[in-house]
Structure formats: structure tokens, C-alpha cells
Amino acid sequence: MNSVLVASNRGPVSFTVSDDGVLTMKRGGGGLVSGLSGVAKDYGVLWVCAALSDGDRSAVRQSPSGRLDQAGYDTGALRMLDIPPATFHRAYNAVANSTLWFVNHLLYDIPNAPIFGSRFQREWESYRDYNRAFALALAEEAGHGARVMVQDYHLTLTPAMLRAERPDLRIAHFSHTPWAPPEYFSLLPDAVAREVLEGILAADHAGFLTERWAAAFMDCCERLLGAQVDRAGRTVAHGGRTTRVGVHALGVDGEALWARACEPDVESHMAALRDEVGDRKLIVRIDRTELSKNIVRGLLAYREFLAAHPEWHGRVIHLAFAYPSRHDLPEYREYTASVQRCAQEIEDEYATEDWNPLILNVNDDYPRSLAAYRLADVLLVNPIRDGMNLVAKEGPVLSPRCALVLSREAGAAAELGAHALVVNPYDVIDTAGALHRALVMPEDERRRRRDSLEAAATALPPQKWLSAQLDALNYDFS
Ligand code: F6P
């Protein structure tokens, strides 16, 4: 039986299946997965995740009890859950991504959404079923007294369901997203808001990436549940139990990132980019095409910058990588189209025969992203709201001279803000000004700031993040 378990929607690998039924395995994407993948194997963790695609489902069906490692895949101990596709779709797309994500990132167009009607009730029922599938699998796999780390907004109900099955376990929940303030969180139907909070409070330890998100969670518990909150001691007492609230920032493993960024595929992308960019300055952004990442305002800021600074025409290129994300949701498809429209307008307005001011790339390519980091003079990270944002941390590790323009609403601003050019993400003039200041920053200041950014970004690598949470579960909760 297993003594340390992790549960998350997305797992460390995913599969594609070809027409003739051949499965190909690749590394899963996203901040949580990149953070945990490197370390889960070292700690002998059993990872429980959901099958996300047809390829994943085929792999699960060929593995004993969904244990991919036992079917011979080099994944570390991994159990993938084959949750019925319709249930999964409602839980993942309708509830997790279209509701809880929107609430915690403050993304609603309030006059029109959300609307919680009978359709949502069905979706919520599926979210419960999906959370229960995780709770039952964890209950089956966990050894006596094992430590279980449940990840993110997809799985807010799992801690309570798991505790009901297995009171002997030590359970942590970790939110990789921001948390909404009570007045926004209470857009949720009252019973749903309570179920989410109580689901997490059934854990012994509720973890967040920054003080700000932890404080918002405690505010919600106090206002919506009437829980007793000790902010200084970071505890929430409710329903006869006390949950400790922890803040664990997540950083990058600098050495591993460097090792990957020096591989030949990255070097050849660097050579191609150098040819394309020449001796011009490079402003880079790398994001999933995610509503919270604020890509359109980032492009509008670049446009303002070009309008205000004609002296830079022909001397700078903005390389914007906006990789596909959540295309099952219409809002995301529309957002991708707006990004493309805005990029086209900039090109139409400013491109000349020998200068393309903007290169937008919408196809995911990890080695090319690493190459872009290495060549960046300026890195633009301007989310509306973000749990942490690992791009802001990876860039300064890989670029010897990049200046960081960073949204004050990114969790990373708590650690990096002092060394970055911090902006209001809604103010595109402010952001344009910061792009300019970043480009003209004197070399010694640029290097000094970059060195401090690198130190802050690598201070809490995933190894430390994981072990801090495991230590938190060793605390005597009795
Ligand atoms: O920000 C929290 C997080 O879990 C990230 O790790 C990940 O990038 C994202 O949310 C989930 O994305 P996806 O829906 O693509 O799994």
C-alpha cells in the first residue's frame, strides 16, 4: 500500500491514439504538472489522475486497475481514472473550468453570467461524481495513516469524501489558482459555495501559493460559513475540526530547466529565431491562450508602445506565443480569435517590407519556448489574475539579460515584484510605458535585477514545495 499519494485532474503523461490503434505517450502540460512531475518519482508518490482523452482511456483499459506503471509505462506509480466521458465533461469543462476557474480568476462578464439554473444542478452532480471517483480510488490505494495531497479546484470535494471513507488518512488540499474575495465567491449558489469550502476544510491542511489567496480563502470561510478564523495562527475552525492554512510558493528547478534548455532541439530553435530577429530587441510572452492571461491587452499595450515610440520601429520584435488551451469552451475559441485579430491589426498598421513587428505563434512548442526565453530582452507577463505564473520565474532563469514586466495581480509578484517592472494589467498605457522602460534599462541595472529575479525564482523549487507540504501533514492534528 502507498504512504504518499497525489491526486490531480491532469496527470504527468497523456496519450494519443493513431488510426491503427497505436498509443503514443507524451508529458502532460500546465504549471502543476511541470512542478510535480520532476519530484513525484523521487518521493515514491502514487499519482492518481483522470483520463482526459480517448488515448488516455485506451491506455487505462489496457492497464491493470488503471495502473499505467504496471502496464509497463515509464510514468512512476500512476493510476488513471476512466471516468465516464459525459460526467468528466460536465465536471471538468462546465464546473471546474467554466465556473470555479471563472470565480477564482474574476472572469465573469457579470451582466450576462453566471446563471445558475437546472442545467448547472446536473453539472454540479457530475462534479460530485467525479470528485467521488477520486476519493474512492485514493481510499483504495492509501496505506494506513498515509498522506494524501489533493490538488486544485477540480477536486475541492474530494477531501471531505475521502475523510468519510478513510478517517485514518492525513489529507492536504492545495489550490494552484488564486482565491476569490467573499463578495465574488458568493456569486456561487449558497449551497455550492458552502460545499466547496467545507470540502476543502475536511483536509488537515489547505495550501495556497501566496498570502493573498490564503487570506481570501479564510475570509470566505468566515463570511460564508461563519467559521472561526485565526489569521495570525492561520487556522480555520468549523464543524468541530480545525484546518491549518499554509502558504507554499512554487518556484522552478533552475538546474533541471537549464539542462533541458541546452539540448540540441532548443539550440536549433535559437539559431532559427536569431535569423528571424537579427540584431533587433526581443519582447517575449509565453502563455496558454487562457482568458486570465490577458493576451489581448498585452498586444494592445505593444501597439500603444509602437504608437508612442516611433524610434523603435524596425528595431524591436514582439514574439508572442499563445498556445492552444481548453478549446472545448466557446469563450476560449472566441478569445483565441480576438488574439489573432488584434495581432493582424498590429501587423497591418506597422509591418514594412523588412520589418515584422509581431510574431504570433499559436502552436505549442516547448523547445521553441525555451529558446525564446534564452533570447529575450524583455519578458511580458500581464495576467488579470494568476495563482503564481511560472513563466515569470522561468524567463529570468534562462535569459541572461531579460527585464521582467509583471502584472501586480500575478501571485509571482509577491516574490518577484521588487525586481520587476510591476504593472496594472488593465492599464495598457502603463504596460506600454513599462515595455519601453524595460527596453532602455541600463545594462548594469538589467543584470542586477535579473540576478535577483533568478534567485527569487529558484528559492522554492518543486522539491521544497512538496516536502514542505508533506511536513505540514506530519503536524499533530489531534
Ligand atoms: O493554475 C492551476 C492549473 O492546474 C495549472 O497547473 C494548469 O496550467 C491549469 O490550472 C489547468 O489547465 P488544464 O485545464 O489545461 O489542465
DSSP letter for each residue of 209-250? SSHHHHHHHHHHIIIII--EEETTTTEEEETTEEEEEEE---
CB 63 within 8 A of CB 77: no
Instruction: For residue 207, give the nearest of 248, 250, 152, 146 by alpha carbon.
Output: 248
* pLDDT bracket for residue 88 (50, 70, 90): very high
CA angle 50, 54, 55 (to 5 degrees): 85
Q: Give the containing element (helix H, strand E) for 425.
A: none
Instruction: Tell me the best of 26, 36, 101, 152 to mutate to test the pocket of ligand 1, counting ligand atoms within 8 Å of each CB and taking the most.
Output: 152
Tell me the sheet residues that pair with 235. Answer: 230, 244
**The pLDDT value given to residue 32:** 74
Mean pLDDT of 145-159: 97
Pocket of ligand 1, candidates 27, 32, 332: which has the most ligand atoms within 8 Å of its Cβ, to mutate? 32
Percentage of the chain with pLDDT > 90? Answer: 90
Lookup: cell for 80: 488513471
Q: What is the DSSP string of 330-365?
A: HHHHHHHHHHHHHHHHHHHHH-BTTB-SEEEE-S--
pLDDT in tens, 392-418: 999 999 999 999 999 999 999 999 999
Q: If you average pLDDT over every residue of the chain, what do you get? A: 95
Residues 414-427, mean pLDDT to the nearest whole number: 98
How much of the chain, in percent, has pLDDT values that exceed 70? 99
pLDDT at residue 36 in the model: 81
Distance 9 CA to ligand 1 centre (A): 9
Element (H, E) at 150: strand 142-151
**Residues framing ligand 1 (Cβ under 6 A):** 10, 30-32, 97, 152, 176-177, 325-326, 387
Domain boundaries, the chain: 2-250+463-472, 254-457
CA distance 420 to 407: 9
Q: Is the pLDDT of residue 131 over 90?
A: yes
Q: How far is the CA of 96 from the centre of ligand 1 (A)?
A: 10
Greater model confidence, 1 or 194? 194
Q: Kindly state the cell numbers that stand for 62.
A: 489496457
Which residue(s) pair with 245 in the sheet?
A: 206
Decide yes or no: CATH 3.40.50.2000 for domain 2-250+463-472.
yes
Q: Which residues pair with 65 in a beta bridge?
A: none
Closest-CA residue, ligand 1 atom 9, reads: 30
Please report which confidence band the pLDDT of residue 97 belongs to, taking 50, 70 and 90 as the band edges.
very high
Task: Say whether 254-457 and 2-250+463-472 share the same fold.
Answer: yes
Contact present, 472 and 266 (Cβ < 8 Å): no
Cell of 296: 489581448
| C-alpha cell, 19 | 488510426
Atom of ligand 1 minimally distant from the CA of 33:
6
Banded pLDDT at 246 (limits 50, 70, 90): very high
Cβ atoms of residues 438 and 378 within 8 Å: yes
At residue 117, the 3 state secondary structure works out as: coil
pLDDT digits (tens, 9 = 90+) for 434-473: 999 999 999 999 999 999 999 999 999 998 998 888 898 9
- pLDDT, residue 476, reads 59
Q: What is the pLDDT of residue 183?
A: 98
Most ligand 1 atoms within 8 A of CB, residue of 8, 10, 26 to mutate: 10
pLDDT higher for 476 or 295?
295
Model confidence pLDDT, tens digit, residues 157-172 = 999 999 999 999 999 9
**Beta pairing partners, 109:** none
pLDDT at 29 over 80: no
| Mean pLDDT (whole number) for 332-356 | 97
- Count CB atoms within 10 A of the CB of residue 212: 17
What is the spatial distance between Cα 281 and Cα 10, in angstroms, rounded to a whole number?
A: 37
Give the pLDDT mean for 15-22. Answer: 90
Question: CB burial class (10 A; 0-12, 13-18, 19+) of residue 113?
Answer: middle
Residue located nearest, by CA, to atom 4 of ligand 1: 32
The 8-class DSSP code of residue 355 comes to B
State the architecture of 254-457 in CATH terms.
3-Layer(aba) Sandwich (3.40)
Q: How far is the CA of 473 from the centre of ligand 1 (A)?
A: 24
pLDDT over threshold 70, residue 31? no
Closest residue by Cα to atom 2, ligand 1, is: 176
Binned at pLDDT 50, 70 and 90, residue 43 comes out as confident
Grouping H, G, I as helix, E, B as strand and the rest as coil, residue 321 is strand
Instruction: Tell whether omega for the bond before 114 is within 30 degrees of 0, i.e. cis.
Output: yes
Q: Which atom of ligand 1 is nearest to the CA of 35?
A: 6
State residue 364's pLDDT score.
85
In this structure, the residue with its CA closest to atom 13 of ligand 1 is 30
**pLDDT at res. 474:** 85
Å from CA of 20 to ligand 1 middle: 31
Residue 477 has what pLDDT?
Answer: 55
DSSP string, 20-78: T--EEEEE--SHHHHHHHHHHTTTTPEEEEE--SHHHHHHHHTSGGGBTGGGT-SSSSE
Q: Which residue, by CA, sits nearest to atom 7 of ligand 1?
A: 30
Please state the atom number of ligand 1 nearest to the C-alpha of residue 28: 16
